[in-house]
Amino acid sequence: MAQATDPTLVSPVTQPVAAPAVMPTASALRVALVQMAPVLGNCKANLELHLNAIDAARARGADLIVFPELSLTGYFLRDMVPDVALARDAEPIRRMAEAAADAALVVGFVEESSRHRFYNAAFFADEGRVRHVHRKVYLPTYGLFDEKRYFAAGERICAFDTARFGRVGILVCEDFWHLSAITVMQAEEVDVLVCISNSPARGVSGEHVRTAETYDRLTKTVAEMLGAWVVFVHRVGFEDGLCFWGGSCLVAPDASVVAQAPYFDEALVVASFDPAELRRQRILTPLARDERLLLTIEELQRIKRRRYAD
């Protein structure tokens, strides 16, 4: 797995590509974007990949280490879902949380609940233990996707407080495409929004991948609308003949791209972000200040009565 140094991104197959330079301050934190190709259904091999990447990211001074959606299992699991599912206190999860030590960690995995339901989930660990788990709410079941057949849908979209990163929210792939999820994150007043993804390349035209272009627009728009840092981490590699395109990135509250991983290649990108930048952007564009949450709730209640009256 290639490692990148600020502000230069090193790809395993290309020459260094210049990335936007960021002048870190004393309050700046470092996030590691782990763009990897997990082995489908092989949790043991993937656990080793995670532990190696965690060690490498910690050696680079990362305060937050983020892996892609279902990074511990691979994506097209189908009937393998029960075989790779873990409780949130399972040994592999404890090992990763402990290996991260004083760094925070976001990892995608299949969670098995106490009622033996299976969720496409992501956990946030800090100080050696799991602090929060987000279960994917919007399960795509169209085209090449069939998630509702194998997973239960999450029922909560909520943020949580952290000591170093402020208020953090986590979304998984399709969640990020829904305005309702973004609206909730705005109401939750997040400072950092983490989106992890497994999005196969669709709509390929020459060198352009339309799904990549959509995520490029979404990450910038959401960062600016929320006045928050957006951490987007996506995988690479092939499964079932489908290609995952990478392009993980860190986007600032003003929609500028601070760092971006290469397309199609594995990479470890470590970039600095300054929580103090939130203040500047929120003074310039005080969207959250002017948001009328009660009006939104009342209008949604009105629409609920109209649409679900029967």
Please name which of 193, 195, 194, 216 lies closest in space to residue 263, comparing C-alpha atoms: 216
Burial class (CB in 10 A: 0-12, 13-18, 19+), 255: middle
Element (H, E) at 208: strand 208-209
Cβ atoms 154, 113 nearer than 8 A: no
Q: What H or E segment, with its residue span, contains residue 3?
A: strand 3-4
Please tell me the total number of residues recorded for the chain in this structure.
Answer: 310
Distance CA 69, CA 135 (A): 11
CA geometry: angle at 152 spanning 229 and 166, to 5°? Answer: 20
Give the active site residues: 69, 136, 173
Beta carbons of 246 and 261 less than 8 angstroms apart:
yes
Nearest CA to 69 among 204, 234, 285?
A: 234
